[in-house]
Structure 1
Amino acid sequence: MAETIVIVEDDESIREMLRYYFRSVGYEVGCFDSGEAYFREGGDMDPALFILDIMLPGMDGLEILRRLRAGPKYAEVPVLMLTARTSEIDKVKGLETGADDYVVKPFGIMELQARVKALLRRAGRPRPGAVLTCGDLEIDPAAREVRKNGVPVELTYKEFELLRLLCARRGTVLTRDDILQAVWDYNFAGETRTVDMHVKTLRQKLGEGYIQTVRGVGYKMP
């Protein structure tokens, strides 16, 4: 059965272009021009991935994302945000709310498809079950849970994957390109700020001292 992508985008030309393209490469597609329309009409769909525009009339993309992440049904369904905004704070808000990736408009359709395929591949990949321990952190891949001194820490999908990678390679300096390749499955040419923003949100949630910056190289867990 073909995987379903739900697209919420108010620009009709972009919405129809995405509908046509993703159907042409084998996906089922549900398109909505607003968050209200999706929650009113899309409840019976079983999406493998959401593509949400941030700038929407009424309920914006971040509010849709909050609602999706509020319950267990869509807690781990990948979400890719489309945005015309370029400021770091807007991207950080999306990542903190639970987005897995973002694409800044205008974008190339092949780039978008590459990111969609990478998110779907990661979401469907079997996960090893060994619990990782890094100091007072416990990372349980099978349950997708992180505990700090026994207290659960809520992380997004990509934050979890990044933390698991750093913990599994503890003591090794990983470049931003290494991390992009391992966590995102492909190279973002010129998009290494994605890694920096995920590290920033991890530090906010875990506290300082867990992830070290190696200036001019990348990151490691000591």
Structure 2
Amino acid sequence: MIRIGNLTVLPDRREVLVDGAPVELSYRAMEVLLILIEANGALVTKDELMDRVWPTTIVEDNNLYVHICRIRKVMDEHRKLLICAPGRGYRLLRPVQPTHAASTFVARTDARQAAR
């Protein structure tokens, strides 16, 4: 689970929640979002995005722009986190960090301390 502002992205399920409510993103928009998340704040060039999202198809920059606009719309007031580096590519302005569920935390007791 990854949080970006009010978005929760569940990459394994390919789902996006906004304030806990599911939001539909197209397959391609989800691919773009996941690539940007994977970059963890680094710039992703337009060419890289296009090569990874449309590997066997020749598309124009406008196709990418349409999906970026959809992601920004979903991000609502946090849309400024997704920025364009004109002529270069896109980045999520700040690195995103996975959120770990409380159930993944396991307290361990040192056997020597437990024996005391």
Question: Which interval holds the TM-score relative to the shorter structure?
Answer: 0.5 to 0.7
Q: Determine the structure 1 residue equivalent to 2:54.
A: 184
- Tell me the matched-pair count: 91
Q: Pick from 121, 144, 164 the counterpart of residue 14 of structure 2.
A: 144
The 5 A counterparts of 1:1-222 are 131-186=1-56, 188=58, 191-207=60-76, 208-222=79-93
SS in 1 for 2:81: coil
Q: Deviations over 1:8-48 (max 9, x none)?
A: xxxxxxxxxxxxxxxxxxxxxxxxxxxxxxxxxxxxxxxxx
Q: 1:203 to 1:160 in 2, by over 3 A?
A: same
The TM-score normalised by the length of structure 1 is: 0.37
Aligned-partner residue type, residue 169 of structure 1:
A
Moved over 3 A (4+): none
The CA deviation string for residues 125-160 of structure 1, in whole angstroms up to 9 with x for no partner, is xxxxxx333333221122221112322221111111
- Contact 1:180–1:186 at 8 Å: present in 2 too? no
Deviation per residue, 1:79-120 (Å, 9 max, x gap): xxxxxxxxxxxxxxxxxxxxxxxxxxxxxxxxxxxxxxxxxx
TM-score (norm 2): 0.67
Instruction: Give the unaligned 5+ runs of structure 2.
Output: 94-116
Counterparts of 2:57 and 2:91, CA distance in 1:
19
CA distance in structure 2 between the aligned counterparts of 1:135 and 1:206, rounded to whole angstroms? 8
- Aligned CA RMSD, in angstroms, stands at 1.9
Deviation, 1:187, is: 6.2
What amino acid does structure 1 have at the position aligned with 2:55? Answer: D
